[in-house]
A and B are shown apart, each in its own frame.
Chain A
Amino acid sequence: MALDAKTLEQVQGVAALVTQYGVPMVQQLVTNIGSKNDPTAEEIEALADDLKDLDSYFEDDPAPEGSDPA
């Protein structure tokens, strides 16, 4: 696999960070890919269920000054 210069730079940076901060989270991320070699069409479509409403990530905003939680 050929890597362009920027990707190579990122890989080198990541390698340094992984060395510095540890690998468990990285391992978990990669493991969580949950590779399927022959998924069904239904399993593929089910991936859409993982997509959340983007607003939900920003909910529970700090209450603006003077706001009434009502």
Chain B
Amino acid sequence: MLRRRRSTFVVAGLLVMMVAVAACNQGCATTTTGKGYDVIKAANIVLDTSMTYLGDEYKAGRLSEEDRATAKQVGAQVQAAIRTAITALATYKRLEDADKLAPGDADKLKVVVDAILSAQKILTDYVAAAAKAKAEGGDG
């Protein structure tokens, strides 16, 4: 029962973070770079929390090698999206500082940053599925 509660807690935390990130994408920080920074920073936390949880489950023998490979694959997708967004945002910031932004640059940046949310959704769905499978099959 304790394991089930922990799983639920982790998944709940991740979902709340996802919603917070989605909300922040529309209005926590007020600048474009500030919003992008918040999304990336939060995505890092979601990724770290998710992978820590999955790693703990694996080390406890509750995830198979196949699960580990899938978790790493999904985690790598999120990392790739985060790295791309970091590069895009830093470039955007430098152009902004040099007053060389072109019309539409902010929209392009948003597409890149939104890709994090899509990748992250796959990861959180995977964590939720893993936790659900464990709760259904691991209480005995």
Choose from A29, A34, A61 the contact partner of B17 (Cβ within 8 Å).
A29
Chain B residues with CB below 8 A from A10, complex form: 15, 18-19
Inter-chain contact B86/A35, CB cutoff 8 Å:
no
Chain B residues closer than 8 Å to A44, beta-carbon distance: 33, 36-37, 40, 86, 89-90, 93
Known A-B contacts A26-B12, A54-B51, A62-B59; A40 and B93 likewise in contact (beta carbons under 8 Å): yes
Known contacts A7-B22, A39-B34, A48-B86; is-contact A58 B59 (Cβ 8 Å): yes
Q: Is the interface of A mostly helix, strand, loop or mixed?
A: helix
Size category, B interface: 35 or more
B contact face: mostly helix, strand, loop, or mixed: helix
**Chain B residues whose C-beta falls within 8 Å of the C-beta of A55 in the assembled complex:** 72
8 Å CB contact of B19 from A11, A51, A61, A62: A11
Contact with B along A34-65 (1 / 0, CB 8 A): 11111111011101101110110111111000
Q: Is B103 an interface residue (CB 8 A)?
A: no
Chain B contacts to A: CB under 8 angstroms: 5, 8-9, 12-13, 15-24, 26, 28-31, 33-34, 36-38, 40-42, 44-45, 47-49, 51-52, 54-55, 58-59, 61, 68, 72, 75-76, 79, 82-83, 86, 89-90, 93-94, 97
Q: Please name 5 pairs of A and B residues whose Cβ atoms are closer than 8 Å in the assembled complex, sorted by A.
A: A17-B12, A36-B29, A44-B33, A52-B51, A57-B54
